[in-house]
Amino acid sequence: MSLIKSDSRPFTVIVEGNIGSGKTTFLNYFKQYHDICVLSEPIEMWRNCNIHNLLGLLYTDIKKWSFTFQSYVQLTMLQQHVRKTECPVKLMERSIYSARYCFVEKMKEDNLLPLPSAAVIDQHFTWIKQNANIGVDLIIYLRTTPEVVYERMLQRNRAEEKSVSLEYLKALHQIHEEWLFHKTLFELPANVIILNANLDKSIITDEYIKCVPQVLNRTMQVQA
């Protein structure tokens, strides 16, 4: 697998948002289009890195495992970005950019990631941006309120998320807002479409339909 930049890559769309913002539901909607390669966040890889549940370890002792976990997240997201596909469109749940700009940044703010460790991640991230084919053409921001995603998180009851607080979700929301809504924090690798992801699943499809032409890169025939 070559990491070196080239012009041959699919039209790449990344779906960003807070924990519980509905990214999986969004991706599932677009699975009906056969010319899209849909890549979910590689959670199962994070739960099984040579039998080690790094996601579980992170939530058990975030200060101890933050560098290990984020290093592996950066690797697995890089693998998603450079993964080959015959489809003209690639739709990814989160990205190497949000891993750095949202989650690593939050760990730095909370002094959970020592500055030398953060420097290692940054050096690797900078090299990847300069040398790997991780271009993005469109960002979909599933904008939610922290209170809504907190309730959704409680309902889905993932074991690793039991220690996630509303305060943490509020802080993570603010970082997403500054990056993707106000556009005052870090670079934007592509234009952003903002959707109201507070809506219930029964009516959220109307929001998805708004961005179908853009996700399909306007040139593809929309299939029912």
Q: 176-199: per-residue pLDDT in tens?
A: 999 999 999 999 999 999 999 999
Q: How many domains does the chain have?
A: 1
In sequence order, the β-bridge partners of residue 195 are 142
Which comes out higher in pLDDT, residue 67 or 222?
A: 67
Let me know if residue 223 belongs to a domain: no
Let me know if residue 4 belongs to a domain: no
Catalytic member of 16, 41, 44, 93:
93
Let me know if residue 220 belongs to a domain: no
User: In which band, very low, low, confident or very high, does the pLDDT at 7 lie, cut at 50, 70 and 90?
Assistant: low
Calpha distance 52→71 (Å, rounded): 14
Is residue 3 over pLDDT 70?
no
CA angle, 138 then 139 then 145, to 5°? 160
The domain containing residue 33 runs over which residues?
11-215
Q: What is the mean predicted confidence (pLDDT) over 20-25?
A: 93
DSSP string, 43-95: HHHHH-BTTB-HHHHHHH-HHHHHHHHHHHHHHHHHHHHH---SSSEEEEES-
CATH of the domain at 76: 3.40.50.300
Let me know if residue 207 belongs to a domain: yes
Q: 81-105: per-residue pLDDT in tens?
A: 999 999 999 999 999 999 999 999 9
User: Which residue type occupies 176?
Assistant: H
Q: What pLDDT is stored for residue 159 in this prediction?
A: 77
Q: Catalytic site residue 93?
A: yes
Calpha distance 38→34 (Å, rounded): 10
User: Which residue type occupies 137?
Assistant: D
Let me know if residue 81 belongs to a domain: yes
Q: How many whole angstroms from its chain centre is CA 190?
A: 14
Q: Which helix (H) or strand (E) holds 19?
A: none
User: In which band, very low, low, confident or very high, does the pLDDT at 218 lie, cut at 50, 70 and 90?
Assistant: low
**In 3-state terms, what secondary structure has residue 108?**
helix
Cβ neighbours of residue 14 under 8 Å, at least 6 residues apart?
92, 93, 94, 95, 97, 98, 136, 138, 139, 140, 190
Quote the mean pLDDT of the chain: 91
From the number of C-beta atoms within 10 Å of its C-beta (0-12, 13-18, 19+), residue 155 rates as exposed
Let me know if residue 5 belongs to a domain: no
Q: What pLDDT is stored for residue 221 in this prediction?
A: 43
Q: What is the mean predicted confidence (pLDDT) over 122-150?
A: 96
pTM given for the model:
0.90
